[in-house]
């Protein structure tokens, strides 16, 4: 009779242990789907955040084919000395509004060598357009 009780206890234990351990084993199964990979846009923003710098200058020329505007820019403290250089522009409408000689303000947006002009405002039209 004592053996019967021991066997009954073992049978209950064997029935309960797998049920008790099952949730522990399933805890690691929740992440069966791979984590989504960030898009190239997300990667660039996480790798180096885009910065904005205020530009003031005069339009020297416009290259519609390359979607660039050459600006004789004033000094931007903490970023770059005064210089004339080409800046990419995202949309054609901005290029359409600009003429050589226009005085503009704009934001240089980007990081590293990947920069473009944004929020371009003509503050004074060139003398030849008055």
> So what's the pLDDT on residue 37?
52
21 part of a folded domain: no
73 part of a folded domain: yes
pTM for this structure?
A: 0.61
Residue-wise pLDDT for 7-62, tens only, equals 566 556 555 555 555 555 555 555 555 555 554 444 444 556 889 999 999 999 99
101 part of a folded domain: yes
> So what's the pLDDT on residue 111?
78
> So what's the pLDDT on residue 112?
75
Round to whole Å and give the CA distance between 32 and 34: 6
CA distances from 1 to 6, 8, 35, 110, 125 (A): 9, 11, 57, 83, 107
> So what's the pLDDT on residue 77?
92
Q: What is the DSSP letter of 125?
A: -
- Give the number of domains in the chain: 1
Contact 54, 107 (CB under 8 A): yes
81 part of a folded domain: yes
């Amino acid at each position: 009779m004592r053996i019967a009780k021991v066997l009954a206890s073992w049978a209950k234990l064997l029935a309960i242990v797998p049920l008790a351990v099952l949730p522990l084993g399933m805890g690691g199964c929740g992440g069966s789907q791979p984590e989504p990979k960030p898009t190239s846009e997300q990667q660039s923003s996480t790798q180096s955040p885009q910065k904005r710098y205020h530009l003031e200058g005069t339009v020297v020329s416009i290259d519609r084919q390359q979607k660039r505007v050459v600006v004789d820019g004033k000094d931007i403290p903490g970023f770059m000395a005064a210089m004339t250089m080409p800046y990419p522009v995202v949309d054609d409408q901005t290029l359409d509004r600009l003429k050589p000689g226009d005085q503009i303000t704009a934001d240089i947006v980007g990081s590293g060598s990947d920069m473009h002009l944004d929020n371009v405002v003509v503050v004074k039209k060139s003398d030849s357009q008055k």
